[in-house]
Amino acid sequence: MNNPLASTKASWPDILDRQHLPLLLTLCLAMWLHATNTLLTATTMPSAVQELGGLNLISWTFALYLMGSILAGAASSILVVRHGLRTTMICAALIYVAGSVVCATAVNMPVVLVGRTLQGLGGGCLVGTVFIAQSRFFQPEHVPRVMAMISVVWMLATFASPMIGGAFSTWADWRYAFWAFAVQAVLLAVIIRFMMCADGSAASRSTARLPFIRLGLLAMAILMMSAAGVEFHTALSPILVISGVASIVVFVYRDAHSESDRMFPRRISDLRSQFTSGILTILLLCLSIMSLATYGPFILIELHGMTPFTAGLILMLESLAWGIMALAFASTPSKHEHLLIRYGSALVLIGLVACAVTFPYGPIWLIAVSAMVSTGGFGMMWGFIIKRIQGFSPREEKDRASSLLPITQQMGFALGAALCGLVANSLGLVTGLSVDRIQMVAFWIFAGFVPLALCGNLTAWRFSR
């Protein structure tokens, strides 16, 4: 089976016409708001700490944003069923505004953490609803192109947000960066209000309640994995990661056996289904590519003598590869999409092995190529994985399946970062910075994930049958 849905021929003008373009740009703006604030604190928080103090809390500005993002994304399908897509997106944008304003007016670092949590809740819900809207308003044959456009926005956001934050912190005030994104979120809410039609009557909507116990399990899992990576402890950190994974397993089991308040498709617990193979492919491969983002700049600076700016360029090339490959292969005929999934997953594995070989010794140009191969492979298959997962989902499960996609991606990133921290610190990175030790770490933070990438390739082949 090469295609879960029968597809007709499609082209770029189909999604760039007057009917679809305004909606596509709105979804891109929503994704921009979330993606930029993921890394905005990298260059705003140093200035914030100088003013407010709280250096020991700085890593939690990302961890709590991630937690809020995953929780809200997980609940987005229920919120859409209860309140409608338009209302949910507007409320998410306003929560994001509130978080931005709290950060911009913070008097100490704990208040900043509250603001970052609110930003994560708003941004995560926006991302979940973007995927739901994409599945509702675009035909399956349009999905690879829509996701290619969204991937380009994500790519631009990942390397633009540190520069935006740095520019405000350097030439103005770090608080203005959060004000700027608050204004953009208000604009998004206004656009959604007047452009998107209300979906369904109030009487036709579900009365399902938010499953707070399951959301608590998910929050606990994220916080435990984040804590394991924030501050390494030989005995405690592995326990935190294992406990976090166990909490996710319990969450998935409980959710699959729930009824009206179920957040994800029931089939997610069926390891024999192609749907679950697709979800596992996303999780395992996202987990496998986090080493570069987590420790790549540190290794490039300490081992190869690069400046922070040039190390950042390597990360920019990595993001660029994802977006370019997504655009380049978006028009691939449906009969070949199973090959893109298989070849893309293979490139992720090849790039990971290449990074393990090149990062300890160089040369720099080969390090850059290795990083681009890995993320480029992900970019070429990403839209087609999404198309197939949504295609495997029955109509009544499509919103749940759509909201599950970004959550799986972010959970993979969170778990990958935590495991990468365990690998690096267990090899003694915190005890010394000798060349030999850094070279050993540079090898194993990539090589250690090769088995997981292999498993991701196996699930990708099963998924694309």
pTM score: 0.81
Q: What angle do CA 284, 289, 294 make, to 5 degrees?
A: 125
pLDDT at 6 > cutoff 70 = no
Q: Contact 292/413 with Cβ under 8 angstroms?
A: no
- Please give the residue that has the higher pLDDT: either 126 or 304: 126
User: How far is residue 455 from each of residues 346, 447, 449, measured CA to CA in Å?
Assistant: 11, 14, 10
Please give the pLDDT value at position 432.
59
Candidate from 14-18, 28-32, 120-124 with smallest mean pLDDT: 14-18
Candidate from 129-143, 200-214, 244-258, 294-308 with smallest mean pLDDT: 200-214
pLDDT at 246 > cutoff 50 = yes
Query: Tokens for 136?
Result: 């509702």
pLDDT digit string (tens) for 339-354? 999 999 999 999 999 9
Query: Tokens for 266?
Result: 């029931």
Report how far residue 203's alpha carbon sits from residue 46's, in angstroms, rounded to the nearest whole number. 50
**Best CA proximity match to 182, nearest among 313, 316, 306, 33:** 33
